[in-house]
């Protein structure tokens, strides 16, 4: 079955001679196979890609964090009951029905994992990173969270208390990271640009105005 697919996904990386990463190549090959076999239609695939690129992804979680950083009343609602507070921003759906938001402080840090499988808050964080689903992370995040964080480049003071939250199909967690210093004059949109996916999992910190440039 032939499919006219060229107009749906033009790939300038090929046109300019640049190579794909291994994971990009695998995704591209899988996409081509699904279309060639007729398992999916090009329009349906485009809609799915568009959904994860524009409507579902870590930019949603970043909006939530930025709102909490700038609106104390919203922050209280978010920490008290994450799901409806997140829904106030028009964010929700499968994988985000029962959200719990945990807050980092000056002396405490939170780390999210799913030890049994790879439950993940898709509506706010998008597609899970490969390492989140890997058995070594799932096991060691619980046994040696400080060591795991160090491997991600996040070395915390010994006095910092680390709490590991184990997501399930019923409850999924998201970290509210500490607001970076020196951001008092930034707008909500500018703050959202500092929020990284890893900072909402707990394996990283938000960017600073200097590192974001």
In angstroms, the CA 43 to CA 52 distance is 15
Q: Do both 138 and 38 map to the same domain?
A: no
Residue 208 domain flag: no
Q: Do both 17 and 49 map to the same domain?
A: yes
Q: Do both 160 and 68 map to the same domain?
A: yes
pLDDT digits (tens, 9 = 90+) for 110-145: 999 999 988 999 999 988 999 999 999 999 999 999
Q: Does residue 14 carry a pLDDT above 50?
A: no
pLDDT digits (tens, 9 = 90+) for 43-61: 655 554 544 544 557 999 9
Residue 24's φ and ψ, nearest 5 degrees, are: -65, -40
Q: Do both 79 and 49 map to the same domain?
A: no
Q: Do both 30 and 84 map to the same domain?
A: no
Q: Does residue 12 carry a pLDDT above 50?
A: no
pLDDT digits (tens, 9 = 90+) for 74-113: 999 999 999 999 999 999 888 889 999 999 999 999 999 9
Average pLDDT rounded to a whole number, residues 61-83 = 98
pLDDT digits (tens, 9 = 90+) for 145-165: 999 999 999 999 999 999 999
Active site residues: 114, 117-119
pLDDT band per the 50, 70, 90 thresholds, residue 211: confident
Would you tell me the crossing angle of helices 72-80 and 58-70 to the nearest 10 degrees? 120
Task: Tell me the CATH number at 179.
Answer: 3.90.330.10
Residues tagged in the binding site annotation for Fe(3+)? 114, 117-119
Question: Do 157 and 24 meet the contact criterion of CB atoms below 8 Å apart?
Answer: no
Q: Report the pLDDT value the prediction gives residue 84, as an integer from 0 to 100.
A: 97
Q: Do both 129 and 196 map to the same domain?
A: yes
Residue 129 domain flag: yes
- Helix (H) / strand (E) element for 100: namely strand 99-103
Residues tagged in the binding site annotation? 114, 117-119
């Amino acid at each position: 079955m032939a499919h006219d697919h060229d107009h749906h996904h033009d790939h300038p990386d090929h046109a300019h001679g640049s190579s794909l990463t291994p994971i990009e190549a695998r995704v591209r090959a899988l996409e081509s196979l699904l279309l060639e076999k007729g398992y999916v239609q090009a329009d349906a695939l485009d809609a799915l890609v568009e959904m994860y690129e524009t409507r579902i992804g870590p930019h949603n979680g970043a909006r939530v964090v930025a709102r909490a950083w700038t609106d104390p009343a919203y922050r209280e609602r978010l920490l008290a009951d994450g799901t409806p507070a997140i829904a106030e921003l028009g964010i929700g759906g499968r994988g985000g029905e029962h959200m719990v938001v945990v807050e980092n402080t000056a002396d405490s840090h939170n780390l999210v994992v799913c030890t049994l499988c790879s439950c993940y808050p898709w509506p706010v964080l998008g597609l899970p990173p490969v390492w989140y689903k890997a058995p070594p992370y799932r096991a060691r995040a619980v046994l040696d969270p400080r060591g795991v964080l160090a491997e991600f480049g996040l070395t915390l003071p010994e006095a910092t208390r680390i709490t590991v939250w184990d997501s399930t199909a019923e409850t999924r967690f998201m970290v509210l990271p500490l607001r970076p210093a020196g951001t008092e004059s930034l707008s909500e949109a500018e703050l959202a640009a500092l929020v990284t996916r890893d900072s909402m999992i707990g394996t990283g910190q938000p960017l600073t105005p200097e590192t974001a440039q």
